[in-house]
Chain A
Amino acid sequence: MVIITPEFNNDFIETLRNNTLDKLGYRDANNAIPLEIERTLDEALTVAKKVVRPKGIYHIIPVLETNRHGIKTEAGIIQSVMFSRLAGMCSGNCLIVFMIATLGIEFERACGDNTPVIRQLVFDTVGSECAEMVADMIEADWRNRIDSQGLQCSWRFSPGYCDWGLEGQKVIFKTLDAKLINMSLSPYLVMVPSKSISAVALLAKDVPVPAPCVFCAKKNCPWRRLPWKS
């Protein structure tokens, strides 16, 4: 099990700023950013730099079996037909990486209750984008390790998306000792702190497609990550 404590630099904050603006709909340079949003964003970024304590944990284990119900591992079964189909396309012995990334609890408390909704939206978006970027940093760490072994990997796949239910959180939290990064899972399978990302990814000699979207008929799925093909 590997624990990572990534560090922010100015590039990180600048990218976080751009990603947040993009998410809020200001990707177009012609789309002027209202002053109040600029100010709130600056404040949220300053707070993020000050209070976010990014941490991550991951663990790589073998895939024991793939079948039409899911992927069997020593930690439990990943009950996703789509992800199992993806594993079935991989060549050689498959491994699976379990990971969690978190910002810590302080940032989500920083916005405060009973504040203007626009402030809540900006802080929430900064938190979500920051969590994605921290997850990318954790992923970069295990990608570096597997590159030297000549393995390829899929994109991250998270409980609650595609056909993998939130029950999948139990398998991830059973595999990883989340307490080591001050995380827990509520009885409703909500991650605490909430600005966190849990995921798995497949590792194999050849991973022909990075996500199971290629098997899916939902052309307009809001979570589609690969172009739809008939």
Chain B
Amino acid sequence: MTEAIEKNMLMNRLVEAVWEHDDNVMSVAMDTVFSTGLPSDEVRHALIWGLEQVRHKLMSNDTSIPEFLLCMDMVTKALDSLSSLKGDSDSNGVDIPLVIGVVEGDPHDLGKNIIAGIYRTSGYQVFDLGREVPKEIFVKAVQENHARVLALSAMMSTTMVGMRDIIQEVKVKSPHTIVIVGGAPLNEVLARSYGADGYAESAVIVLEETETAIKRDHGNYHTRV
């Protein structure tokens, strides 16, 4: 059997392991990846592609959130083992730094954790600040990590108003950073009035919304830098 066919079969097994969220298949496939020294970028692309197909099924209601999360956790585990092999902590060889967190006063972080997982398994370098994060910490993290994207979450009307201050300060101190917001009490109009570049109504569309905002900002980015 040629090397190309073997490689192709291995990639298929990786994707199958994601789709079936099968720990055993993934474990054997990853062992083979490590023993054959397959380029980690190619493996990463296969894993991300596999999950992307599941996300599209979610968008068309052909799968459920729990099933998607099982697949996502599978990809996260595989990417983590790739990273540990390469010796870098969270980059997975990707190049879009993103800071994410839940705003001050808000302890609800499940939605944010799902979104962080989606970003992490889709080619973003995620700096997750957790929940109940004060404005100053967001601003500092965006600056220190040269974040291209800041993703803010709030699940209550009493905490979402804090987003406005964060966005205003980030826009002054890190003008190249685009801000995506999401959470139960928000809507498109509120998000725009707070100065956000994008509003993700649900986890399912957060990637499209982020990519659209990045593209929209691209021209401005080059004129500013």
Contact = CB atoms under 8 A, between A and B. Distances in A.
Chain B binds chain A: yes
Interface of A: 24-26, 34, 36-37, 113, 116-118, 120-122, 124, 160, 165-166, 186-190, 194
A194 B113 contact: no
16 contacts: A25-B66, A34-B66, A37-B70, A116-B73, A116-B76, A118-B69, A120-B113, A121-B65, A121-B114, A165-B157, A186-B105, A188-B106, A188-B159, A190-B105, A190-B158, A190-B159
A24 B68 CA distance: 12
Interface of B: 21, 64-67, 69-70, 72-73, 76, 104-108, 110, 113-114, 117, 130, 156-159
A122 B105 CA distance: 24
A118 B73 contact: yes
B207 to A, nearest CB: 16
Contacts of B66: 24-26, 34, 37, 118, 121-122
Contacts of A121: 65-66, 69, 110, 114
Given A37-B70, A121-B110, A188-B106, A160 B156 contact: yes
A223 to B, nearest CB: 11
Contact of B72 (A24, A36, A117, A186): A117
Contact of A25 (B64, B70, B108): B64
Contacts of A25: 64-66
Contact of A160 (B73, B106, B157): B157
Given A34-B66, A188-B104, 18 more contacts: A24-B66, A34-B21, A34-B67, A36-B21, A37-B70, A113-B130, A116-B73, A117-B69, A117-B73, A117-B113, A117-B117, A120-B110, A124-B110, A186-B105, A189-B156, A190-B106, A190-B107, A190-B159
A188 B158 CA distance: 6
B70 A36 contact: yes
Contact of B156 (A36, A118, A120, A166): A166
Nearest to B23: A36
Contacts of B67: 34
Contacts of B70: 34, 36-37, 118
Nearest to A167: B158
B64 A24 contact: yes
